[in-house]
Amino acid sequence: MKIFLDTASLEEIKKGLEWNMVDGVTTNPTLIAKEGCKNYRERIKEIAEIVRGPISAEVLAEDFEGMAREAKELSSISKNIVIKIPMTEEGIKSCKFLSDEGIKVNVTLIFSPLQALIAAKAGASYVSPFVGRLDDVGNPGMEIVSEILQIFQNYNFETEVIVASIRNPEHVRIAALQGAHISTMPFSTLKQIFKHPLTDVGIKRFLEDYKKAGLKW
């Protein structure tokens, strides 16, 4: 399973890259705004300068013409840019158009398996089911991931599933067990998945025993 960071923070991306744990990055307008950036495309460019893998950058327009225009502008930033398009009728029309032009599309704000099916049929390279937001409304998010994976397998779609709106390591564990292609997670979750309290206890005990015995290196 590939690990993407869901962030627009250069600091977090650099840290994740040092650990060799960033296969790609996903952004959205909320994440870029949170960083206090003044220029939307400038931040995407800064991310593209340090990340080798795919970088999802979202359009802001809601109509086909606007989406197509913004997609071209975002694509010109770097060959690694994947255009994030919302799951709407105009979005799906744009997805087909852009995919036919060879531009990779990540259809975002997916909340049902049938939305994912439509996106795949429109040529999306990626779909992003938002599992945490589904959990928030009492609808188990990971269940739709499993259904999407099954549907894609039934019809041999090459569209990859990016499990998004991840809130905790449990989402990542289930995604990996289900065989999801990608988990995109906040930096805080990436840090959490390194950790287990028994690892820390174990390290402490090894060092104490080494010192107690007066062992020479």
Can you read off the two tokens belonging to residue 129? 């089911």
Comparing CB distances to ligand G3P, the nearer of 65 and 181 is: 181
Q: C-beta of 137: minimal distance to ligand G3P in Å? A: 11
The reply to whether 84 belongs to the active site is yes
* Shortest distance, position 27 Cβ to ligand G3P, whole Å: 8
Can you spell out the DSSP letters for 106-169? EEEEE-SHHHHHHHHHTT-SEEEEBHHHHHHTTS-HHHHHHHHHHHHHHTT--PEEEEBS--SH
CB of 133 to ligand G3P, least distance (A): 5
Which of 23, 33, 61, 58 has the alpha carbon at shortest distance from 8? 33
Burial class (CB in 10 A: 0-12, 13-18, 19+), 78: middle
Nearer to ligand G3P, 26 or 125 (CB): 26
Burial class (CB in 10 A: 0-12, 13-18, 19+), 103: buried
Task: Judge whether 37 and 8 are in contact, CB under 8 Å.
Answer: yes
CB of 150 to ligand G3P, least distance (A): 22
What residue ranges bind ligand G3P (CB under 6 A)? 6, 26, 28, 31, 130, 132-133, 164-165, 184
Looking at residue 44, the DSSP 8-state letter turns out to be H
Candidate list 84, 121, 191, 216, residue with the active-site label: 84
Task: Rank residues 122 and 134 by Cβ distance to ligand G3P and give the closer one.
Answer: 134
Give the residue with the Cβ less far from ligand G3P, 75 or 165: 165
CA dist., res. 76 & res. 45, Å (int): 10
Annotated catalytic sites, by residue? 84
